[in-house]
Amino acid sequence: MKNLLVIALFWLSAPVVNWSGDFNETQKEAQRTHKYILINFSGSDWCGPCIRTRKEILETKTFEDYAADHLLLVRADFPRQKKNQLPKDQVKRNEALADKYNPNGEFPLTLLVDENGKVVKTWEGFPNVSPEKFVAQITETTHAGN
C-alpha cells in the first residue's frame, strides 16, 4: 500500500507534457501563450536515431520538466509497420507538416519554431548531446530572440 502511495505521489508531481499531432491548433495556442513550438519528425518503429532521440532526450525528466513550462510540442510520426499505422486524418496532418518543414524527408528532424511558425533552430539527425545541453540550446535560442 505504501508503494502505491509513493507511485501515486510521483505520478501527480510529474510534469504534464503533451505531444500534439495538430500543428495548426498548437500554433494557435502558441500565439495565445507566446511559447515556442518544438516539432519532432520521427519514424517511431523503424528509425533508430528517432528512437534514441525520443528515449535519450525527449522523454527524459530534464527535457519534460523544461518543456512543461516553456514549450508546446508537436510530433509528426511516420511509422512503417502495419500495426502502428496512424488514422488517415493524422497521416494527412503529418504529411502537410512535412511538406512545409521537412520536404527532404529527414529523420529524425527536430525544429524549434516561434509562434508565427518561423524556424529558429534545427537539429538534423540525433542531436548527440545530453538532455541538459539540449535544453540549454533551446534556452540560448529562445533568449537570443528576446
On whether residue 7 sits in a domain, the answer given is no
Cα 110 to chain centroid distance, Å, stands at 7
On whether residue 129 sits in a domain, the answer given is yes
CATH number for the domain harbouring residue 49: 3.40.30.10
Q: Give every CB contact of residue 12 below 8 A, 6+ residues apart in sequence.
A: none
As for how many domains the chain has, the answer is 1
Asked if 26 and 62 count as a contact pair (C-beta separation under 8 A), the reply is no
Domain range for 95: 16-144
Alpha helices in the chain (DSSP H): 2-13, 23-33, 48-53, 61-70, 88-101, 131-144
pTM: 0.88
On whether residue 6 sits in a domain, the answer given is no
Identify the CA nearest to 146 among candidates 117, 111, 120.
Answer: 120
C-alpha cell at 89: 486524418
On whether residue 2 sits in a domain, the answer given is no
Q: What is the pLDDT along the chain (146 residues), one digit of tens a residue?
A: 555 554 545 545 556 799 999 999 999 999 999 999 999 999 999 999 999 999 999 999 999 999 999 999 999 999 999 999 999 999 999 999 999 999 999 999 999 999 999 999 999 999 999 999 999 999 999 998 55
C-alpha cell at 45: 518503429
On whether residue 11 sits in a domain, the answer given is no
On whether residue 88 sits in a domain, the answer given is yes
pLDDT at res. 4: 53
pLDDT at res. 11: 47
On whether residue 4 sits in a domain, the answer given is no
On whether residue 112 sits in a domain, the answer given is yes
